[in-house]
Amino acid sequence: MTTAPSTASSLVADRDWWRGAVIYQIYPRSYQDSNGDGIGDLKGITARLPYVAALGVDAIWISPFFMSPMKDFGYDVSDYTNVDPIFGQLADFDALIAEAHRLGIRVMIDLVLSHTSDQHAWFVESRSSRFNPKSDWYVWADSKPDGTPPNNWLSIFGGSAWQWDATRLQYYMHNFLTSQPDLNLHNVEVQDALLSIERFWLDRGVDGFRLDTINFYFHDRQLRDNPALAPERRNATTAPAVNPYNYQEHLYDKNQPENLAFLRRFRAVMDEYPAIAAVGEVGDSQIGLEIAGQYTSGGDKMHMCYAFEFLAPDPLTPARVAEVQHAFERAAPEGWACWAFSNHDVIRHVSRWGQDIADHDAHAKFLASLLMSLRGSVCIYQGEELALPEAELAFEDLQDPYGIQFWPDFKGRDGCRTPMVWHADEANGGFGESRPWLPVPAEHLPRAVSVQEQDMRSVLHHYRRFLAFRKRHPAFAKGEIEFKPYEAPLLGFHRTFGNETLFCLFNLSAEPVTAPRPEERLDVLGGHGFDSHLGDERITLPAWSGFFARLV
């Protein structure tokens, strides 16, 4: 095995670095094209790392860049230990790691362990017969006597979760596309193979993992039917409302107790290396927080998990914020959350929550500051720091099979995956010289990095200011949270760590408001970018703003 060469690093040795970290998610296809083929790549990411460092984040999370036929744009892996040629080669990844560490940035990579591509060598062998060494590496089952699938499980991308294979005369399970067969983690050989992949990337110098669909790893051995879900319990948290996936209670196709033992095995490998961390994505519309609690308990599984509560379309209100935070604390008293408002799978939050808000920038600044003030770690999705709105694409420009399947009621995920805009006056927003894989929206160009760099009042500069402000006060990263009894549109809470208690107050409205001055003595904090004011009796908060003080 070839490993990355040792390089000078400015990282501080801290096994607890992940607790309260701010992680910047990079979707490599759309970040920076370095070779003119219209697709972003690893060299492009490396070239832009100084920009990431200037934001002040602690780590980056890179979406999959492994060998793949790209039916699901990298989340269908055909070789876990090689870089797909469209993104570069292993040497480019080694160079990326070295530059990130030189700049003090940790690197987390996206591991998709629940399924592979149907072009993976494992699956090619598995489907070749019922009696080969890997015949049990995927989830195979006989049909019912009438030829229909083994049970009623549904794919999250629509239709049955079972696909007929004419060679084995059996069905194989796929929670996602038919070209993404599910691995059978009940087979210990499969677990061992996945742990060897984990070790391969740790040996190359990665600092941790984002684990895709972590609660999908195991299925019910008995293949029992999922029960129907009562209509009043349905929601669009993890799948769009038009998807019948929401009509079932997913008791048996995922969320199985056997996963806990595998996560302990995965954590044991990480613990052999210094300062490694993992965040798991929990996709469940009914018990997501409870699962996150299970997976982060005991200090022997995941370091942190995120569910979809703040990625869902539900309006962001003071009550909602407090409710989600309290629900996580109840479900995961030993656990640690990782919050995000946007990622590569959901409508960008400035559009999801701010479609009708006139002051787009003020709203974006407020949302960023609220996110980075909650208890937990934080994921920021590329372009969020520019307040990029969701792109409106024509049907003929769509690439996402999910959107093509459910168009026009659900337009898929391409609207949040359009290329990053670096220079307003360059072709394709500075993303690359050739036509990009997704079009660059004209409305994104005025929000390019080159434009916002010149305006100290821009959303980009606000992100930098608030990240720096957050680092000056460890209570934001590590502290407890206690909500205070304010009426909407105000949201107030204390963050306490050691001898420091911070008072945070937010105005979740488009109108200025005032609030009574607390009885505690306050040392007003500056440098956060808001023009709130503490008077003799009242606190004045402009629209979409925050107020911060230290209790003395």
What is the set of active-site residues?
212, 272
The pair of structure tokens assigned to 403 is 């959107």
Residue type, 455: D
**Chain centre distance of CA 436:** 23
Comparing CA positions, the residue from 321, 342, 323, 343 lying closest to residue 331 is: 323
Give SS3 for 55: helix
Q: Can you spell out the DSSP letters for 331-389?
A: H-TT--BEEES--TTS--HHHHTTTT-S-HHHHHHHHHHHHTTSSSEEEEETTGGGTPP
**Chain centre distance of CA 518:** 36
Comparing CA positions, the residue from 269, 118, 154, 258 lying closest to residue 208 is: 269
Residue with tokens 């100084």: 50
* β-bridge partners, 541: 513
Greatest alpha-carbon pair distance for the chain in Å reads 80
- Find the DSSP H helices in 445-498: 449-453, 459-471, 474-478
Contact 23, 61 (CB under 8 A): yes
Torsion of CA 32, 35, 38, 44, to 10 degrees: -10
Contact 155, 175 (CB under 8 A): yes
Pairing of strands 22-26, 377-381: parallel
The pair of structure tokens assigned to 86 is 């469209």
Comparing CA positions, the residue from 209, 529, 548, 510 lying closest to residue 385 is: 529
Comparing CA positions, the residue from 536, 477, 532 lying closest to residue 549 is: 532
d(CA 92, CA 107) in angstroms, rounded, equals 14
Three-state SS string across 271-327, please? CCCCCCEEEEECCCCCCHHHHHHHHCHHHCCCCEEECCCCCCCCCCCHHHHHHHHHH
Burial (0-12, 13-18, 19+ Cβ within 10 Å), 532? buried
Give SS3 for 507: strand
d(CA 351, CA 411) in angstroms, rounded, equals 14
Pairing of strands 338-340, 377-381: parallel
Pairing of strands 208-211, 277-281: parallel
